[in-house]
Structure 1
Amino acid sequence: MKEEKKKYWKSIVLFSLFFICFIIRGCSPSKDIHQIERDKDQEFDKGSGIYFSSISEKKTMDLAKLCKVWGVVKYYHPEVISGDVNWDYELFRVMPYILEEDSDVNLILYEWVHSLDSKTLFGDIDQQYQFPEDYIQLSPSTDWCKDEKYLGKDLSLELSSLLDSNISERENAYVSFKDDSPYPFMENENSYPSMKFDDTGYRLLSLFRYWNIIEYYYPYKAVIGEDWDQVLLEFIPKFIHGSDYESYLLTIAELTTRIHDSHAYLMGKNGNVISNYFGMYRIPVNFVEIDNQIVISKIIYKCGLEIGDIVLKVGDKDIDEILENRRKYISQSREDTGSLLFLDLFRTHEKNTDVTVIRKGKTIDVNVKGSQKDINVGVDTKSQEIEDGKIYYINAGLLKKGEIDKIMKKWWNTKGLIVDLRNYPSSPLTYELVKYLIPYEKEFVRMSFPNRAKPGEFYYLDPFVSGKPKETNNEILDDEVYKGKLVILINEHTISQGEFATMSLRNTENSIVLGRPSAGADGDVRLFTLPGNIRSTISGFGVYYPDKKPTQRIGVQPDIYMVPTIEGVREGRDEFIERAIEIIKESF
C-alpha cells in the first residue's frame, strides 16, 4: 500500500510540477462555502486595537518568543488544526499582556496555550507518515520547546507534548493537504483585505505568519544562509516602525529576500508585483553582466541605447547603487541571478531618463526613452538546422506542443543537437526529449515534501527517472537512441523547469552542459497570502540530485564554464551557440 501511495504521489507531482503561481495575476485562494468555527470569531475584523511605534530590546525578545509559541501551536495543536479557533485573533488577545512592561511572559503563554481544548487524543503517527532516517531531508527546529530555561517548566512541557500530536487530517488547518497529494496548500489563511496599514497588531501578524511558514513549510530552510531566529528579532522593530502601505509592503519585500529564493515573488494588494515600486517605465533592453559590468546585449525597442553600451548611471544613481537597491527588495537564490532583477533593474518613474554609458571607449550621456510594454529577456533565436544540416539547434523557449517528436524524426541522423535552456521551456523536455537520448530509464532527481503529520519535517520521495521507457510504440525508439553529440546551454536565466530539464538531459551519455550556473531555484511554487491582501510565493518542495546533493542557491553547474565577451556582444554574436557548434564539430 505504501508503494502504491508513493506511485500515486509521483504521478501528482509530474502532473503539476511546473505550475507557476506567480503568473496567474488573478489567483486568489478559494473559500469553502461551509463556515467553520474560527470564521465565526469576528472580534478583530475592524482592527486589532494594538498600536505602537517603538519597542525595547527586551520586548522584542518577548514578541519573538510569542511568535515561536504561536507558530508551533498553530501547526501542532488539534483545536487549531480542526479550525475551531481563530488563531490570528488569539494572537491579538494575548499580545497586549506580553507587551506589558513587567509581564511574566512564560506564565502568560503557558496559561494561554493550556486554556485550549486538548480533549482530542494524540495518537501514534500513521505508518504512512513514518519515514526511515535516510528518507528525512529536513527535521523540525523544535528543540527550543524542551528548553525549560527559555520557556519555564510548565510551558516547555505543554509545548513538548504538542510535538507528539501526529495529526495527518488537516482539511481545516492553516496548511492543508488535498486527498493523498503531498503538496501543501495555504488557502485557509485569511488575507484581511480591509487591514489598516498603521495597525501594529496586523503588521506583526504578517511577520509571524511569514516567519512560521518558512520555519515549518519551506524545504530549503537549512540552506538560506541566515539565522532565522535572528531574522525574526531584526524584523520585529521594522514591522512596528512603519505606519502606511508602502512601508509595510517594502518591509515584507525585504523579508522575502532573506530566504534567498528566486521563486519568492511578492504581489501587492492590487495584484501588482513589487516591481511597480521601482517605476512604471522600463528601458526596453536586455543586458548581461560581464566582468562586473552591465552591458546592453539587446535592444527590444529603439530607445537611444546601443548594443555593447556599458551602463554606469541611470538618472543620478550609479548602477551599483541601483543593483544594491533592487537586491534589498528582490529575492535571489544567487546574487548573480533573479528574473525580477533582470526585468526591474532599468525601471524608472519618468518616461525619459538620462543614462550614462561607455560607448566605444567614450563616456557619454544618452537621453533614453522608457516603455510600459512587457519585456522578454529570453533568447529569440528560432530552432533551426546548422552547419549544412549536420547540427540542429532547439530553442526550448519556442517549442510547440508535439514539436519534439517531429524534430527528432526529421533530424535523427544529425551529428549533434544544441538544446538552449537559457529560456524558460515552453514544452516539457524533461521526459519528451530524453526518451530519444537515453536507452533506458535512469534516475536524475529526488524531491522532498512536507510530512503532513509532523510540521517542519520533509521527506524524500524515491528518485524520479527519465529516458527510454521499457515499452514504447515509437518506431524510432524500438532499437536505438540518438547517437549524436548533445550540448545543453544554460545561464543565469535557466530557472525551475529549465533546471529540472537540464538535470534530466545531462544524463545523456554523450552530453555537455555549457554556460554559466543556473538560477538555483527549483521546486513547484507555493502561494500564500499575508494581511492586507498581500501575496507571496516560495519554492514549495525540494529538488536534489539522486545522491541528495542540493541545487537550491547553488544552481546546476556547467561542465564547461563560459562567459560572453563584450566584443562578442557588440558584434551581435551568440558566443554560446558558436562554442556549442565547435564542441559538436570536434566530435565529427
Structure 2
Amino acid sequence: MKTISTALLLFLGCACFAQSQKQIENQMAFAKFYGYVKYFYPGDDADKIDWDKFALYGSQKVDKCKTTGELKDSLNALANVLMPGVQIISTTEEITFPSNLKPKDTVGYKEISWQHLGVGLLKDKRSLYQSVRRNRQTVFKNKFTGFGNLSTLIDAKDLKGKTFVLSGRGKVLSEEGQGQFWFRVDRQNGQMGFFENMDSRPIISKSWQNFEIKGTINEDAKQVVFGAFLVDRGKFAIDDLSLKVDGKEIYSRDFESETIGDEPKTISVSTGRSSIQNAKYVFAINGDEQNKFAEVASPLNIIDSETVDIKPFDRHANFGEYVGKSISRNLKIFVPIVLYGTKTQTFPFTDSVKVKQVLSTINGVPKDQLTAQNLYLRLGNIINTWNVFQHFFPYFDVAKTDWNADLEKALVECYNSKSSLEFANTLKKMTAKLKDGHIGVWYTGDKSQYYPPFSWDLIENKLVIKSVVGSTLKLQKGDVVEKINGQDALKYFQNVYEYISAATPGYLNHRAKTESLIGVKDTPINIVLSGGQKVNTTRKIHSSSYNTESVKQEAIKSLGNNITYISISDAKMKMIDDSIELLKNSKAIICDLRGYPTDNTGLIEYLMVKDDTSSRWMQIPQIIYPDQEKPITYQNERWPLKAKSPHLNAKIFFLIDGRAISYAESYMSFIEHYKLATIIGQPTAGTNGNVNSLSLPGGYSMWFTGMKVLKHNGSQHHGVGIIPNIYVEQTIKGITEGRDEILERAIAEASK
C-alpha cells in the first residue's frame, strides 16, 4: 500500500462540502486576519510568504476548529514563526503594546512600515499602483517575458466560407509555462475574423496531448495564420501540425526532414511582446531520428528579479501604532504596523531554521492542488479577493453594500460549488455588489465564447432584436422577443444582472446585452417573438468575430448642410489635423463618442478657449492604515490640456451612451466641465480611472478601478457619469427602420 504524505493530505479538498455555521465563522475570522497581516504587518519573513498559497493553507487550518480556543490557537500558530508580535486574543483582554518589539538599542535600526499607493498587485515597477515597505528595497520579479511563436500564413483566396480543422499535438518540457495552438482569419477590411488560441484549454502536460481547433473561414477572408506559442517561461514542443479544409489536408508539418539542433526551417518563428529588453526565445528541432519535433524555449537572458528603491509618498505610520481589531465575536487581533529593522532583518529576530521550514510548507503547495476543485483554493481565493477591496477599493461610499455579508455569502457558495465555472460565478456575484464597471472576472477554463447570429437590446422595456448576421435566420431588426429557451424574455435577460458589476443602469444593460447571449459553442438559443413566430438557432460565432454592436463609421465625413461628422473611435489625431480646414469652415461638428476614443485628445484643445486648470479630479489613495477608516490622502493626477489654435467656432455636439467608459469619460469630462459642446444621447458608464488587476491561482483573474475619479468641479462621477444636455431614447420603431435616433437628433439641432 502506498503511503500518502501528510503534506499532500493537508491540501486535498473535496468538490462538495456541507459547511457548518462554525466553519463560516472560522473562515471569516481568518479572512480578517489574512488582510491585516498581508498588507500591514511589515516583517521581513512575512514578506517571503506566497500569499496566494497562504490563503489556501490558512483556510484549511481553521476549517475544522470546533471551539473559539481552537481557532485562537490555530491563528496564533499561523503567525508565531513568521510574524513575531502578531497576537490573537480574546475580545475581553486588553491590548497592550509589547515592550519586546523594540530593541534595547535602536542605533543602526530604521522603522519599517507599509505604504500603499493604491495597491501594488502587479509587482511591476512600471505600474501606477505600488505597495512598498518604507526603508526597505522592493524586489520586482519579472513574471512575464512574452511569448515565443511558431506560425504559418496561407492566402485565403480558395478557402473562403469553408470549414477547417487545425490539429496536432504538443507537450510542455519544463516545470513552468504553458503552450497554446492558435488559428486566426484576417479579413479584407483589416479586421480580425475567426480567432481561437486555446486560452481556455492550454497545454500544460508533460505528455503529448492532441488538440483540434475547428471553425469556418470568413467569406471575406484575406489570409489565415496559425501555429503555436509558448507563454512566458519554459519549453514547449509541437509536432504533426495539420490543416484540413473541407476535409482535405492542405498543410502538414512533422519536422522529420529537419536537422536536430537547428532552428526550424519549415515554419516561421518570432518573439512576441517580450518585457525583457532584447530577450529572444530559442527555437530548435529536437527529438531523435525516430521522432523529431519543433521546440520553443524561453529566453536565456532573463533577469529573475530587480531590486529598486521606491518612495511612493512621505506620509507613514510611526513605531507604536498597531491594528487592534475584532475578527470574530470572541477574538481580536493585535498587529504592529511598524517594526524596527537593521539592513538585513526586522526585529524581533526569528529562528531561521523554523522560518525556512514553515515557508517550505506554505510555499510548497503542489501545483496540482491549485485548482478550484480544491475547496481550500476556492475559500482562499475569496478571502484574497475580499481583502483587496476591503482595504483598497475607492468606492464603497457609492456601492453601499454590506461587504462583510457579501463575504459570508461567497464563503457559503465555496462549500457548495461543484465546478470551476460555478466558482467563477461566485467571484462574479461577490464583486458585482461593488458596482464598478471596470470589474471583470476571467477564468481560463471558461468555454463560453460563442454568440448566436444576432444581437438584442433592452428598448422600451422590451427585448428587441437589434441586428442579424446573414440572411438565413428568420429575424428582423425591431422584432420583439417574448420567450427565450422557454423563459420570459425580460427575466432571461435580467438573470445575468447579478453577475455584472456596473455603476449605472445604462452600463449594466450594455453588458447584459452580450452576457445574456454568450455561451458554449453550438448550445441552443430558441426564441419566440411577439407574434408567436419561433426561431431556433445556436451559438456559433466566436467572440473575436462578433462585431454586431455597431457598424464601422467613416472617421470624418460630411453630413450635408455644412455639418461634419467625426467618429471619435476612428479618427486619429493626424486625420483631424489634416481636416482642420474642413472643420474650421463647418457650421456644426458632430463628434460621436458612443464607444472608446482613439488617440485624438488634441481635438479637445481645438475646442478650448483657455488652458485646463483642474488638477485634482484623478486621485490615487495613499494608504497606511487598514479598513480605510483613518483619513486617506491622495496623489493627484491630471491631463494637462492647453487651448490651441485654430479654435473651432462651429456649433459642437457630442454623442454619448452607456458604452462610453473610462478613457471615454475622461475625454467627456473636459467637454462637460468647460461646456465645450451640447451633449446628446444617454448617460455614460460612470466608471473612470486606471484599472488594477488581480491574478488568482486556479486560472482566475480580475480587473477593477484602482483610483478615485471625480468630476472636475469635485463632485461625484462614479455611478453618475456624464449626463447629456439632450436625452434621447432609442425606440422600437427607430430600430425597425434602421435609424440612428441619437445622430438624427444631433443633426436636427445642428441644422437650427
TM-score w.r.t. length of structure 1: 0.74
Partner residue in 2 for 1:252: 427
CA contact (8 A) 1:74 1:80 kept: no
CA gap 1:102/1:344 in 2 versus in 1, 3 angstroms: closer
2:658 matches 1:492: yes
Deviation (angstroms), 1:290: 1.8
Q: Distance in 2 between matches of 1:262 and 1:45?
A: 40
2:612 matches 1:442: yes
2:423 matches 1:423: no
**2:382 maps to which of 207, 210, 224:** 207
**2:529 maps to which of 357, 375, 392:** 357
**1:285 maps to which of 420, 437, 454:** 454
Partner residue in 2 for 1:101: 66
Partner residue in 2 for 1:129: 313
Partner residue in 1 for 2:564: 392
SS of the residue corresponding to residue 654 of structure 2 reads strand
Partner residue in 2 for 1:296: 465
Q: Which amino acid aligns with 1:420?
A: D
Deviation (angstroms), 1:208: 0.5
Partner residue in 2 for 1:329: 499
CA gap 1:94/1:540 in 2 versus in 1, 3 angstroms: closer
CA gap 1:582/1:131 in 2 versus in 1, 3 angstroms: farther
**2:732 maps to which of 566, 571, 585:** 566
Partner residue in 2 for 1:460: 634
CA gap 1:131/1:484 in 2 versus in 1, 3 angstroms: farther
Deviation (angstroms), 1:297: 2.4
Q: Distance in 1 between matches of 2:327 and 2:540?
A: 59
Which has the higher mean CA deviation after the structures are superposed, 320-329 or 43-52?
Answer: 43-52
Partner residue in 2 for 1:178: none
SS of the residue corresponding to residue 528 of structure 1 reads strand
Which has the higher mean CA deviation after the structures are superposed, 539-548 or 229-238?
Answer: 539-548
SS of the residue corresponding to residue 326 of structure 1 reads helix
Q: Distance in 1 between matches of 2:49 and 2:312?
A: 28
Q: How does 1:87-98 map to 2 (within 5 A)?
A: 87-91=51-55, 92=57, 95-97=60-62
Deviation (angstroms), 1:165: 6.2
Partner residue in 2 for 1:60: 24
SS of the residue corresponding to residue 554 of structure 1 reads coil
Q: Distance in 2 between matches of 1:577 and 1:264?
A: 30
CA contact (8 A) 1:263 1:521 kept: yes
Q: Distance in 2 between matches of 1:45 and 1:69?
A: 25
Partner residue in 1 for 2:402: 227
Q: Distance in 1 between matches of 2:655 and 2:721?
A: 14
Q: Which amino acid aligns with 2:456?
A: F
Q: How does 1:111-260 map to 2 (within 5 A)?
A: 112-115=78-81, 116-117=83-84, 122=111, 129-130=313-314, 145-147=324-326, 150=329, 152=331, 155-156=332-333, 158-159=334-335, 161-162=336-337, 164=338, 195-260=370-435
Q: Distance in 1 between matches of 2:736 and 2:519?
A: 25
Q: Deviations over 1:220-244 (max 9, x none)?
A: 2332231101111111111112243
2:704 matches 1:533: no
Q: How does 1:65-76 map to 2 (within 5 A)?
A: 65-76=29-40
CA contact (8 A) 1:488 1:514 kept: yes
Partner residue in 2 for 1:524: 690
Q: Which amino acid aligns with 2:695?
A: T
Q: Distance in 1 between matches of 2:613 and 2:44?
A: 40
Partner residue in 2 for 1:23: none
Q: Distance in 1 between matches of 2:691 and 2:45?
A: 23
2:712 matches 1:546: yes
CA contact (8 A) 1:486 1:510 kept: yes
**2:478 maps to which of 308, 313, 316:** 308
CA contact (8 A) 2:439 2:702 kept: yes
Specify the structure having the higher radius of gyration (Cα).
2
SS of the residue corresponding to residue 129 of structure 1 reads coil
Q: Distance in 2 between matches of 1:68 and 1:452?
A: 17
Unmatched tracts of structure 2, length 5 or more: 86-100, 102-108, 116-133, 135-310, 344-362
Partner residue in 2 for 1:48: 11
SS of the residue corresponding to residue 566 of structure 2 reads strand
Q: Distance in 1 between matches of 2:429 and 2:44?
A: 30
Partner residue in 2 for 1:26: none
Q: Distance in 2 between matches of 1:74 and 1:202?
A: 17
Q: Which amino acid aligns with 1:207?
A: I
Q: Distance in 2 between matches of 1:351 and 1:335?
A: 29
Q: Deviations over 1:518-553 (max 9, x none)?
A: 122222222221121211111222221123323222
CA gap 1:509/1:103 in 2 versus in 1, 3 angstroms: closer
SS of the residue corresponding to residue 715 of structure 2 reads coil
Q: Distance in 2 between matches of 1:221 and 1:391?
A: 44
Q: Distance in 2 between matches of 1:486 and 1:106?
A: 65
Q: Deviations over 1:545-577 (max 9, x none)?
A: 123323222222212221012212211111111
Percent identity between matched residues is 21
Q: Which amino acid aligns with 2:576?
A: I
Higher normalized contact order (CA 8 Å, seq sep 6+, divided by chain length): 1
Deviation (angstroms), 1:211: 0.4
Q: Distance in 1 between matches of 2:376 and 2:429?
A: 19
Q: Which amino acid aligns with 1:245?
A: S
Q: Distance in 2 between matches of 1:401 and 1:195?
A: 47
Aligned residues: 492
Q: Deviations over 1:203-225 (max 9, x none)?
A: 11111011011112322233223
Deviation (angstroms), 1:372: 1.4
SS of the residue corresponding to residue 428 of structure 1 reads coil
CA contact (8 A) 1:47 1:199 kept: no
Q: Which amino acid aligns with 1:304?
A: K
Q: Distance in 1 between matches of 2:74 and 2:659?
A: 50
Deviation (angstroms), 1:394: 1.0
Q: Deviations over 1:480-505 (max 9, x none)?
A: 51111211111111111211211122
CA contact (8 A) 1:79 1:85 kept: no
**2:489 maps to which of 304, 319, 325:** 319
CA contact (8 A) 2:620 2:636 kept: no
Q: Distance in 1 between matches of 2:546 and 2:393?
A: 31
CA contact (8 A) 1:396 1:419 kept: yes
CA gap 1:44/1:514 in 2 versus in 1, 3 angstroms: farther
Q: Deviations over 1:101-157 (max 9, x none)?
A: 12423454346435424678645887963569xxxxxxxxx99844599565xx54x
Q: Distance in 2 between matches of 1:148 and 1:452?
A: 21
CA contact (8 A) 1:443 1:464 kept: no
SS of the residue corresponding to residue 295 of structure 1 reads strand
Q: Which amino acid aligns with 2:411?
A: I
How well do the aligned residues superpose, as a CA RMSD in angstroms? 3.5
Unmatched tracts of structure 1, length 5 or more: 1-41, 133-141, 170-187, 470-476
Deviation (angstroms), 1:305: 1.4
CA contact (8 A) 2:507 2:659 kept: yes
2:438 matches 1:263: yes
Q: Distance in 2 between matches of 1:417 and 1:343?
A: 32
Which has the higher mean CA deviation after the structures are superposed, 79-88 or 99-108?
Answer: 79-88
